[in-house]
Amino acid sequence: MLKKLISLLLVCASLLSIPVALAEEEDPLSVFAIRHGRRDEKKIAVTVDDFFNLDWGWKIRDMWQEMGVVGTFFPLGIRILPEDGPKWQEVIDAGIEIGSHNWGHYPMGKSDTYSIVNSLGRTQQALDAALGYHYQINSFRPPEGNIKDGNGSSKTFRRGVNIFGYEHVVLWDVSQTNPELALQKVQNGSILLFHTRKKDYDCMKAIIPQLLEQGYEFVTVSELLEFGPNEISSELYVYNKADYQQK
């Protein structure tokens, strides 16, 4: 009798979990760390991280433009230099979104709340300074997708991100530089992760034409996840720690 009761409870628990799973599949915004967009729309977002090698970044920009596709660049704040302002403007002019990959490349999950706020603020400030106007960064991806501290908690990280103004962080569901394997993993709503390296460039050059032939629409992360447009204004953002202290 006891075994039957336990089995029944397990079945009930399984059934109760189904709507939750479905809800997350249908609405990626129901989670904080988003790995993909809607699975019922044939849209994908190709993303490029770090920008340690700026030359490969500009080559990727040119390739995307030649192929008629867009995506999202996630540069580190330390790689957004004033003298490269015209290059970043060319990125925006090509329809490519600029997101934030933090100020430096370190595991943010182990940072305290205001160190996180400071890093995000400095990155936004660097982009505005390079462009000469305010370009609101909508999307943020932490280096290596790291959002947890040594105890496996993301509470401090999430608080810092929320205080700065981001409701979500953008991760990925495809990270592969082998063209054949990458194509096998792509599905509706996929977010593809690449970096500014030759092997990543070569992979994108190989798979983008095939994905276009398969009918995929290439969009930015903000478009895929419905974050809204990147607002611009003449007033440059300047990071001030005091602006966030009471939040």
pTM, entire model:
0.88
Q: Is the residue at 31 inside a domain? A: no
Residue of 59, 54, 61 whose CA lies nearest to 78: 54
Residue of 170, 226, 178 whose CA lies nearest to 46: 170
pLDDT grade for 239, boundaries at 50, 70 and 90: very high
Q: Is the residue at 8 inside a domain? A: no
Contacts of 15 (CB under 8 A, 6+ apart): none
Share the mean pLDDT of the chain. 90
Kindly give the pairing relationship between strand 191-195 and strand 43-50.
parallel
Q: Is the residue at 207 inside a domain? A: yes
Three-state secondary structure string covering 111-143: CCHHHHHHHHHHHHHHHHHHHCCEECCCCECCH
Between 16 and 207, whose confidence is greater?
A: 207
pLDDT grade for 238, boundaries at 50, 70 and 90: very high
The answer to whether residue 245 scores a pLDDT higher than 80 is: yes
225 contacts 37 by C-beta, under 8 angstroms: yes
**Residue that the structure tokens 């699975």 belong to:** 39
CA atoms within 13 A on the CB side of 48: 28
Q: How much is the pLDDT for 26?
A: 64
For 22-74, the pLDDT digits (tens) are: 334 568 999 999 999 999 999 999 999 999 999 999 999 999 999 999 999 99
Q: Is the residue at 158 inside a domain? A: yes
Q: How much is the pLDDT for 10?
A: 44
Q: How much is the pLDDT for 247?
A: 67
Q: How much is the pLDDT for 206?
A: 98
Q: Give the Cα separation of 218 and 145 in Å (integer).
A: 22
Residue of 140, 13, 163, 12 whose CA lies nearest to 75: 140
The tally of domains found in the chain comes to 1
Q: Where are the beta strands (DSSP E) in the chain?
A: 33-34, 43-50, 72-75, 97-98, 134-135, 169-170, 191-195, 217-218, 232-233
Q: Is the residue at 51 inside a domain? A: yes
41 contacts 88 by C-beta, under 8 angstroms: no
Contacts of 225 (CB under 8 A, 6+ apart): 28, 29, 34, 37, 139, 168, 170
pLDDT grade for 5, boundaries at 50, 70 and 90: very low
Q: How much is the pLDDT for 193?
A: 98
* CATH code of residue 218: 3.20.20.370
The answer to whether residue 18 scores a pLDDT higher than 90 is: no
Q: Is the residue at 7 inside a domain? A: no
For 109-149, the pLDDT digits (tens) are: 888 999 999 999 999 999 999 999 999 999 999 999 989 87
Domain span at residue 227?
A: 36-243
As a residue count, the chain comes to 247
Q: Is the residue at 176 inside a domain? A: yes
For 212-236, the pLDDT digits (tens) are: 999 999 999 999 999 999 999 999 9
CA 97: distance to chain centroid? 10
Q: Is the residue at 13 inside a domain? A: no
Residue of 122, 99, 112 whose CA lies nearest to 239: 122
CA atoms within 13 A on the CB side of 165: 13
Contacts of 49 (CB under 8 A, 6+ apart): 74, 75, 101, 141, 143, 193, 194, 195, 196
